[in-house]
Structure 1
Amino acid sequence: MRLTEISFGQARPIDGYGPGFFRIGGEVLHGAVLVTAGGARIWGGFDETAPLLALEGEVDVLLLGTGASIAHPPADLRAALEARGIGVEPMASPAAARTYNVLLSEGRRIAAALLPVG
């Protein structure tokens, strides 16, 4: 079997997560986070929509991690993002973190907004 090392370039991958935190590029952030190829920041959850809407033109898809299990995002948030050309893919936060890393390694224009687990 041939193994290929994954390169993220200058982008910071999601290294891990646990109860109430995410580790991104070696840095631990507590609470909900917004992760893009350019960096990571604390995110206020579904009540803080401005940073998500500001992704217009920067990303094609937003992976929306809804915590420990999958849930529907607020319909008005989905509609506002899609009106700006941003596709929304809701999934459990662990799955969103893994998917983010795979797509990031492929050079895709993506972001992940993740609610913490546990």
Structure 2
Amino acid sequence: MIKGIEIRDAHFPGRAPIDAYGNGGFRFADMSHRGSILCLPSGIHGWIPKTPPILGLDDLTLVLEQASDIEILLVGTGMDLRRLPEDVRAVLREHRISADPMSTGAAVRTYNVLLAEDRAVAAALIAVD
């Protein structure tokens, strides 16, 4: 019997700075990923937000699962700054996570600085062209 190709969720099992962004993806750890990503304590995960750039609670399931290890969530909302819906902000506050929405470029730069300082930071980064 021939075994088929197994498709797995994109996941880099470590914390790494983002080396570049644009053209619909990101470069990190000598690799590239096409599409949006979540940078979490468990690693960097491929991520498909349901209605970008507006995020809902369903988009942040992995973030909430790791909430005990996250103090700051940087949200890269694409080219333009978009506010997080109040229900999302309220749930993040309940988990003691400070959420800071900003353009994806600003979120990448801030994430890299906070990661270098060994802060409890995570990022939800919507890919930009």
Measured against the shorter chain, the TM-score band is 0.7 to 0.9
Mark the structure with the bigger radius of gyration.
Answer: 2
Cα drift, residue 24 of structure 1? 1.8
Aligned length: 109
2:102 pairs with one of 91, 94, 102: 91
Q: How does 1:42-61 map to 2 (within 5 A)?
A: 42-45=46-49, 46=55, 47-61=58-72
2:19·2:28 contact (CA, 8 Å) conserved in 1?
Answer: yes
Name structure 2 gaps, 5 residues minimum: 1-13, 50-54
Query: For structure 1, which segment, 14-23 or 36-45, has the greater mean C-alpha deviation from structure 2 after superposition?
Result: 36-45
TM-score under structure 2 normalisation? 0.78
Identity of matched residues, %: 39
Q: What corresponds to 1:66 in structure 2?
A: 77
2:17·2:112 contact (CA, 8 Å) conserved in 1?
Answer: yes
Q: What corresponds to 1:22 in structure 2?
A: 26
Cα deviations by residue, 1:12-49 (Å, 9 ceiling, x for unpaired): 11010112101122221111100134421111223422
The alignment yields a C-alpha RMSD, in angstroms, of: 1.5
Cα drift, residue 56 of structure 1? 1.1
Structure 1 runs of 4+ aligned residues shifted over 6 Å read: none
Is 1:34 matched with 2:38? yes
Amino acid at match of 2:31: E
